[in-house]
Amino acid sequence: MSVNVLVQGGLGNQLFQVAWAYYLKDKLKFDVNLNVHLFYQQRQHSSVSFFSLLGELETIPISEERILTFNDDLLSKIIRFSLRKMKINHVPNILIYDYDALSSLDDCLKIPMPNYHYGYFQFPDAALYSSDFLRVSIANKHGNLMGDIGNNISDHVGIHIRRGDFVTSSSKLHVASDIEYISNAIEKFPGRRFMVFSDDIDWCKKHLPKISSIDYFSGKSAIEDFIGLMCCQDYILSGSTFSWWAAILNGNKSTKVIIPNSDAQFMSEQSNKKIGWNYERV
């Protein structure tokens, strides 16, 4: 039986889906495909793709097969909406549907493995298991860029400020970082230099403290921003998967991380303890 992990969402969510597929394939020895059909249909978040970050994945086969209920047409949307309203996250032998990003790895592994896995799968276990694989893939594709950026900011504290859809979202998992949080987090790093990464740099320049130790990253793409964040030494994270993954893939075992109060599973106390990094909530 082939397991199909469907790719959708922004880069951080895609990395969780790739990590889940890798975990199922490499650790649990399932026959796994990454299905990108819905991703290409939806074109969310400026269509930033994990391919642009990782390159071609020889380890995990890629499929563009059209799958009923996992398209961007009206019928498929109605079916998925109905499953969410009825809080159905599992259809025996067919589907695991992690629609709310609240399923746990243990919950998913207790279910006889269905054909289709659709959702977020924000499991730190899978992220940690796949981190070396992902880190090597990024280095193989972007090694020169990592070297160039790292030479300039490898001692910086990376600040990620997610605006965009977080500002307007009604989800309790999407909370834009406010100035009080950023200012309090900066105070945790006396004498350090900071590099700000954001999808709204103009807003950051207008509202962040006017201190000489804050610089602003001028990446040409979301991929450059991600690699820049990876190259920092320590982190002030937003509630987004984008900056969380950059910190995870940094690979520095002494990294200090400031995180906001968040209901997201990947930022829970249990997740932070599994990761084992030096973290503090502000």
CA distance 227 to 53: 9
3-state secondary structure of 92: coil
The CA distance from 78 to 180, in Å, is 40
pLDDT of the residue at 263? 81
d(CA 211, CA 196): 13
Q: How far apart are the first and last CA of the chain?
A: 46
Q: CA 152 to CA 154: how far, in whole Å?
A: 6
Could you tell me which residue, 147 or 210, shows the higher pLDDT? 147
Cβ atoms of residues 95 and 118 within 8 Å:
yes
d(CA 159, CA 215): 10
pLDDT at 176: 65
Beta pairing, strands 2-6 & 31-35 = parallel
Instruction: Compute the half-sphere exposure of residue 143: CA atoms within 13 Å on the CB side of its CA.
Output: 5
- The pLDDT value given to residue 171: 58
Residue 239 pLDDT greater than 70, yes or no = yes
| Chain centroid, CA 266 distance in Å | 9
The average pLDDT across 141-148 equals 95
Residue 129 near residue 135 (C-beta atoms within 8 A): no
Contact at 8 Å (CB) between 146 and 188?
Answer: no
**The predicted structure's pLDDT at residue 40:** 84
Bridge partners of 215, per DSSP, are 195
User: What would the two tokens of residue 224 be?
Assistant: 């450059």
Token representation of residue 232: 């920092």
Average pLDDT over residues 62-91: 83
Res. 169: pLDDT tops 80: no
Distance CA 127, CA 233 (A): 20
84-91: average pLDDT: 86
More confident residue, 239 or 17: 17
The residues facing 280 across adjacent strands are: 258
Q: Please say whether the dihedral angle defined by the alpha carbons of residues 36, 263, 45 and 26, taken in this order, is positive or negative.
A: negative
* Structure-derived torsion over alpha carbons of residues 117, 120, 124, 129, reported in degrees to the nearest 10: 40
Contact 36, 66 (CB under 8 A): no
Structural domains of the chain in order of their starting residue, each with its CATH number:
2-122 (no CATH), 144-281 (3.40.50)
pLDDT value of position 164? 62
Place 78 in a pLDDT band, splitting at 50, 70 and 90: confident
pLDDT score, position 45: 52
Banded model confidence at residue 139, pLDDT cuts 50, 70, 90: very high
Mean pLDDT of the 252-267 span: 89
23-62 residue pLDDT tens: 999 999 999 999 998 888 876 656 789 999 999 998 999 9
Starting from the edge strand earliest in sequence, which strands make up the sheet with 214-216, in order? 214-216, 194-198, 157-161, 234-236, 256-259, 278-281
Q: What is the pLDDT of residue 198?
A: 92
Instruction: State how far Cα 223 lies from the chain centre.
Output: 13
pLDDT single digits (tens) 183-194? 999 999 999 999
- Residue 188 φ/ψ, nearest 5 degrees: -75, -5
